[in-house]
Structure 1
Amino acid sequence: MLGIRRKKVKPMRLKDVTIIDDARLKKAITAAALGNAMEWFDFGVYGYVAAVLGKVFFPDASPGIQIIAALGTFSVPFIIRPLGGMFFGALGDKYGRQKILAITIILMTLSTFCIGLIPSYATIGFWAPVLLLIAKMVQGFSVGGEYTGASIFVAEYSPDRKRGFLGSWLDFGSLVGFVCGAGIVVLLTAILGQENFNDWGWRIPFFMALPLGLVGLYLRHALEETPAFQKHVDSLEQGSKQGLSEGPSVPFKEIARKHWRNLISCIGIVITTNVAYYMLLTYVPSYLTHNLHYSEDRGVLIIVVIMLAMLFVQPVMGLLSDKFGRRPFIIIGSTAMVLFSIPSFMLITHHSIVALFFGLLIQAVILNCLIGVMASTLPALFPTEVRYSALASTYNISILVAGITPTFTAWLVEATGNLYMPAWYLMVVGVIGVVTGITVRETANKPLFGDTPAASSLEEAKELLQEHHDGIEQRIEDIDEEIEALKNKRRDLVAQHPDIVK
């Protein structure tokens, strides 16, 4: 009988625990969050000026079709995002996270800036919406590697006990981007007047992407590679001596075979969270203006107030997830989507500012539960060597469903005349979230998949090492109990067979 060669496993020592430098950690979070804010600044602005863009680029259509066409241009780039995810994901696992994040912010900045340069349909006709679509597709390609890369960057820099809190600042940046985008729209409309804003003022927010992007690029270019990825590089150089020259060693087909459960969990979390995200922060502004006939200023102002409240709640959700786990927040948020979507839209459509505020607040709290833990949950589902490839590909394929939310919901409302269609849509997606929350593995206060523990201090490193050893001892005891139970079962079976020697 051939013997099975076992890989020699070295005992974990204190030197194996990564101690994260606090100054480097703050720089990493700031750079990642700023780039994410840049991404969502454009999405926020685009959502709030969708009605204006419909008039500028699709003037011959009816008002309802103009909204659908403008939001459709918003949604089409999501088809490109999986390509960007696969492209940047493979490069991120080959060359590192920091280099790819510098590239994606350049592409995002330039494509957003170019939207402000595109002449109107009245000036160049058919080419106006074509150029808008090209700019959005370039943007979608770059975004394919942006959020997943940023979340991985923060996760790999974060100590195990603080990953939820620190990861929540990534989507804090998203909300800041939305708030800034919406606030600028309100401010410019108030200063310029609605007519001037519709004529040329809508271009200004897109021009502002250039200086914001340059600041983000500067911060990202100055960053060092993540400790987790650097350890991976060192192990390749010392082990196989091939370094990273051949790229990721595991093809996506193999990733799907080995990690299919986590891939499904990733899909469920991404769909649930981002449908809620795009519904509230991209579709609802145009819903308030076009379907409920609020003035653009009032509808946007209410959303801004809601998002400001979300900013304060977001880090709290991440902090609590470090204490109670990620799964409870996914389950609570998804269950609330099922139970409270109809009541919230009853308030939203009540034609009362107070009722509208509380209806939107319900949706905001639901969204906070989900985005508060997403950035810390997803990177922990995959090992370092395939983390970027697996997460970027799966995330961006999944977000295709979320990306059509504004367009599909607008079409549903137009086709049926039912103002509660957004609520029914959210309820269906909420069911997906509940199932995902129940089945996903808990990642709080644990090392990233396949990585050694990470701590914020030497004292914490000693505690984590002791917890690791205690966990091994407990697992050994559990295995010993299983072995004893199997021995007893074997003894009982042997006793029933007359020809087996006891």
Structure 2
Amino acid sequence: MNNNTKAAKINKRSLIAGFSGNVLEWYDFTVYGFFATVIGSQFFPNEDKVVQLISAFGVFAAGYLMRPIGGIIFGHIGDSQSRKKALLISVLLMAIPTTLIAFLPNYESIGWYSALLLIILRLLQGLSVGGEFTGSISFLVEKAPKNRRGFYGSWSTFGVFGGMLLGSGLAALITAILDNNQLHDFGWRIPFLFGAVIGIVGLYLRKGMGDDEHFEKVIKEHKSNKPPISEFWADYKIQALKIVLLSWAFGVSVYMIFIFLPSYLHTFLHVKLDDALSSHTIAIVVLMLMIPLFGILTDKFGRKKVLFASLIGFVVFSYPLFALMFESTFTAILIATLVFAIFEAMFQGVMPALMTETFPTRVRYTGLSVSYNFALALFGGTTPLVCTWLIKISGGNVWMPAYYLIATCIIGIIVAMYMPETFKNELE
């Protein structure tokens, strides 16, 4: 009985530690996205607010260009040494640059050096997150019982939106308390400073996380002289391509609705920023509560049924939901984001287990990190920049983000048709 109790405690600690880094990662990116208009004015002086926004989101996207490199580095560590070691290094490398952003001087103080320093810190963060999400889903799904992999994996994306909730909640509080001058003077720095606290907690939790039992067993049974990246590239290119294309829709849906949308509503539809942030905070709470539920449903009914429901929902309802948001009232925006949250919860609940089951254990961390981060670097992290650019080149057509979301989800549906159903399979 004592052994069972001990195992349960280890699993609970591992579960929390597994997704804690995702909290920090997405807290940081959410805060940056929500304060993009302020950051643009601090580091990129230009009278055109759209140009400032493009510059700020350009730095946001630049960090994502480092993700595939980080994926290769952390994938090698995770597949050749241990998941735990890779995840410890990842959360530390994420926390330090996040904190340093709070102390950066602006353009008025040191000129263009301020933008250069911001870019360097975002690049370091991008390197770190290249191994964070994919490492956490590998760790959690591998530790899960066969019939609960969807549920365990869903907690990694629960952590993602936990970070978003912290970021949007704090951003909403700051914008409600401070006036515009205070927000530009010092208010935008506060959330980045708070990131240090999250990083310390995450590091503490991960030092005590459980061992990689499944990984260690597989490595002993299947010793290979090939580096993980070589074996992955030789044998799993088709699987990687499917994950890349599916992650395109996955990344665009997240970054458009839960990162870009507040700035989009504020800049192009002239919605009050605190209204945009408040509606998104409520939607994120609802989304978080639904993610584990859909994780359970994928364990019961299969990955593909939930995946198709999500993608088809986005294709059918994105246009009318954007039309609803164009009414520019708090109620209309809240209803639209809540409906979007349902489809996103399905997507978030299914993807961790589905992706993890695509690759065998010996190259899983590498395979996930390279394919997923390539997609996020090329398509996901660039979503705010692409959407803003599409609106600008189309002469101010505010429908362009909706069209982009629909197009990527149609591609996702086609790819999903060729994905195998894996929820009953043993992990290799």
> Which range, TM-score by smaller chain?
over 0.9
- The reply on whether 1:387 has 2:373 as its aligned counterpart is no
| CA deviation string 1:380-429 (max 9, x = no partner) | 11111111111111111111211111001011112221111011001110
- Correspondence for 1:362: 339
**Residue number among 383, 403, 408 corresponding to 1:429 in the alignment:** 408
The one of 96, 107, 113 equivalent to 2:99 is 113
Whole-angstrom CA distance in 2 between matches of 1:139 and 1:121: 21
| 1:445 and 2:390 aligned | no
Alignment partner, residue 398 of structure 1 = 375
Matched, 1:38 2:24: yes
Alignment partners' CA distance in 1, 2:347 and 2:405: 13
Shift of residue 357 of structure 1? 2.0
For 1:223 and 1:447, locate their aligned partners in 2 and report how far apart those are by CA, in whole Å.
Answer: 24
In the alignment, is the contact (CA less than 8 A) between 2:276 and 2:330 conserved in 1? no
Q: 2:293 aligned to 316, 328, 337, which one? A: 316
C-alpha spacing 1:265/1:133, structure 2 compared with 1 (3 Å): same
Partner SS for 1:393? helix
- The answer as to whether partners of 2:76 and 2:229 remain within 8 angstroms in 1 is no
CA distance in structure 2 between the aligned counterparts of 1:196 and 1:323, rounded to whole angstroms? 51
Q: C-alpha distance in 1, partners of 2:369/2:268? A: 35
Which blocks of at least 5 consecutive residues in structure 1 are unaligned? Answer: 1-19, 451-502
For the aligned residues, what is the CA RMSD?
1.6
Q: Which runs of 4+ in 1 moved over 4 A?
A: none
State the match for 1:22 in structure 2. Answer: 8
Give distance in 1, aligned partners of 2:278 and 2:261. 12
Q: Secondary structure at the match of 1:446?
A: coil
Residues matched between the structures, number? 421
Aligned residue number for residue 217 of structure 1: 203
Structure 2 unmatched runs, 5+? 1-5
Q: 1:141 aligns with which of 127, 140, 154?
A: 127
Q: 3-state SS of the aligned residue for 2:131?
A: helix
Amino acid at match of 2:341: A
Q: Which has the larger radius of gyration?
A: 1
Aligned partner (choices 109, 125, 129) of residue 115 of structure 2: 129
Shift of 1:252: 3.6
Say yes or no: does 1:289 pair with 2:266: yes
Q: Given residue 438 of structure 1, which amino acid in structure 2 is its aligned partner?
A: M
Secondary structure of the equivalent of 2:17?
A: helix
Distance 1:253 1:432, change over 3 A: farther
Measured in 2, the distance between the counterparts of 1:390 and 1:69 equals 32
Q: Would you say 1:63 and 2:49 are equivalent positions?
A: yes
Letter in 1 for 2:300: K
Q: Deviations over 1:422-457 (max 9, x none)?
A: 110011101111012211111213321x2xxxxxxx
Is 2:33 the partner of 1:47? yes
Distance in 2, matches of 1:75 and 1:67, equals: 12
- Deviation of residue 73 (structure 1)? 0.8
**More divergent stretch after superposition (249-258 vs 48-57):** 249-258
Percent identity (aligned): 35
Whether the 8 Å CA contact 1:50–1:67 is kept in 2: the answer is yes
Query: Helix, strand or coil for the counterpart of 2:357?
Result: helix
> Is 1:255 the equivalent of 2:232?
yes
Q: 1:92 aligns with which of 68, 78, 102?
A: 78
Tell me which amino acid in the other structure corresponds to 1:421: M
Check whether the contact 2:79–2:228 (CA below 8 A) recurs between aligned residues. Answer: no
Q: Is the 8 A contact 1:162 1:445 kept in 2?
A: no
Deviation at 1:256, TM superposition (A): 3.6
Distance in 1 separating the partners of 2:61 and 2:54: 10
Q: Distance in 2 between matches of 1:372 and 1:22?
A: 23
Q: Where do residues 191-340 of structure 1 align in structure 2 (5 Å cutoff)?
A: 191-235=177-221, 249=226, 252-340=229-317
Distance 1:259 1:427 in 2: 28
Deviations 1:120-152 (A, max 9, x none): 111111101111000000000000011100110
Structure 1 residue 352 displacement after superposition: 3.0
Matched letter for residue 216 of structure 1: G
Q: What letter is aligned with 1:285?
A: P
In 2, the alpha carbon distance for the partners of 1:428 and 1:131 equals 36
Q: By how many angstroms is 1:251 displaced?
A: 5.3
Q: TM-score, normalised by structure 2?
A: 0.95
